[in-house]
């Protein structure tokens, strides 16, 4: 069964836009687990524009499922945070400073030695490692040589072209997944997966271990929960 890890970064974005602690990311993590999430994902960035480093420390004690921390392992502050909080999984993403969102995978050939060092550091602390990669066979093969436990397929291209031709959109991911599995790699996926394209992706890649989804879940929660909240507020005025 493929696990769903809910990324709560957007909860923190909303909080930070106003100041204070509403919405509360710890409360959001507790609720997501209670509602059936198989895990919680956070992606702290150096500028702390959404999830803050303190949030990660506060969330860790309430995790009852699985904790996945994504981030840039070229930042010593990130490395120290992961080793301190010891999540079940760390997902290494090649973000650049100030990058709006993750938009490319690792060049696992060019950065093989660096990745091997980082992966070894986290694995020595008992943390499972996944690395963010594009659905390119050479990058998958390079990932296997780094010693990583899993890869996370960067799925923006699939989501972008899904409505044009879902078969063509998923084709490189099917090939990449098959190669990853043949090399003994676990398989995660994430970025722009949503209620419309997720089922077909899973059906096409049954070997999928985990998907990490945040933005789409928060957007759908606004729409699907909007009526209920308005009615709850109306009741307070009766």
Instruction: Give the pLDDT band (50/70/90) at residue 96.
Output: low
- Look at residue 238 in the predicted model and tell me its pLDDT: 79
- For residue range 32-79, what is the model confidence (pLDDT) as tens digits? 999 999 999 999 998 899 999 999 999 999 999 999 999 999 999 999
- For residue range 150-189, what is the model confidence (pLDDT) as tens digits? 999 999 999 999 999 999 999 999 999 999 999 999 999 9
- Look at residue 151 in the predicted model and tell me its pLDDT: 98
Among this protein's residues, is 43 annotated catalytic? yes
- For residue range 17-44, what is the model confidence (pLDDT) as tens digits? 999 999 999 999 999 999 999 999 999 9
- Look at residue 230 in the predicted model and tell me its pLDDT: 80
Domain edges within the chain? 3-236
Among this protein's residues, is 111 annotated catalytic? no
- Look at residue 92 in the predicted model and tell me its pLDDT: 97
Provide the CA 47 distance to its chain's centre, in angstroms. Answer: 18
Catalytic-labelled residue, pool 43, 66, 152, 210: 43
Catalytic-labelled residue, pool 50, 66, 70, 210: 70
Which CATH number among 2.60.40.3500, 3.50.50.60, 3.20.20.70, 3.40.50.261 corresponds to the domain 3-236?
Answer: 3.20.20.70
Give pTM, 2 decimals.
0.93
- For residue range 110-148, what is the model confidence (pLDDT) as tens digits? 999 999 999 999 999 999 999 999 999 999 999 999 999
Catalytic-labelled residue, pool 50, 66, 152, 191: 191
């Amino acid at each position: 069964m493929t696990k769903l890890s809910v990324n709560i970064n957007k909860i923190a974005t909303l909080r930070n836009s106003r100041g204070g602690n509403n919405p509360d990311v710890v409360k959001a993590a507790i609720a997501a687990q209670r509602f059936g999430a198989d895990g919680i994902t956070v992606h702290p960035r150096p500028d702390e524009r959404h999830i803050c480093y303190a949030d990660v420390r506060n969330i860790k004690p309430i995790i009852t499922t699985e904790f996945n921390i994504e981030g840039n392992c070229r930042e010593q502050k990130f490395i120290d945070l992961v080793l301190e909080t010891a999540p079940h999984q760390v997902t290494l993403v090649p973000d650049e400073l100030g990058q709006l969102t993750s938009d490319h995978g690792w060049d696992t050939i060019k950065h093989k030695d660096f990745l091997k060092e980082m992966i070894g550091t986290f694995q020595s602390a008992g943390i499972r490692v996944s690395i963010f990669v594009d659905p390119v066979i050479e990058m998958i093969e390079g990932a296997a040589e780094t010693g990583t436990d899993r890869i996370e397929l960067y799925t923006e291209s699939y989501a972008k072209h899904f409505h044009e031709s879902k078969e063509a959109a998923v084709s490189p991911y099917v090939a990449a997944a098959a190669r990853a599995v043949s090399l003994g790699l676990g398989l995660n996926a994430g970025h722009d997966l949503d209620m419309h394209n997720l089922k077909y992706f899973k059906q096409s890649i049954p070997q999928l271990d985990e998907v990490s989804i945040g933005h789409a879940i928060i957007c759908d929660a606004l729409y699907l929960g909007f009526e209920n909240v308005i009615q709850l507020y109306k009741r307070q005025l009766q």
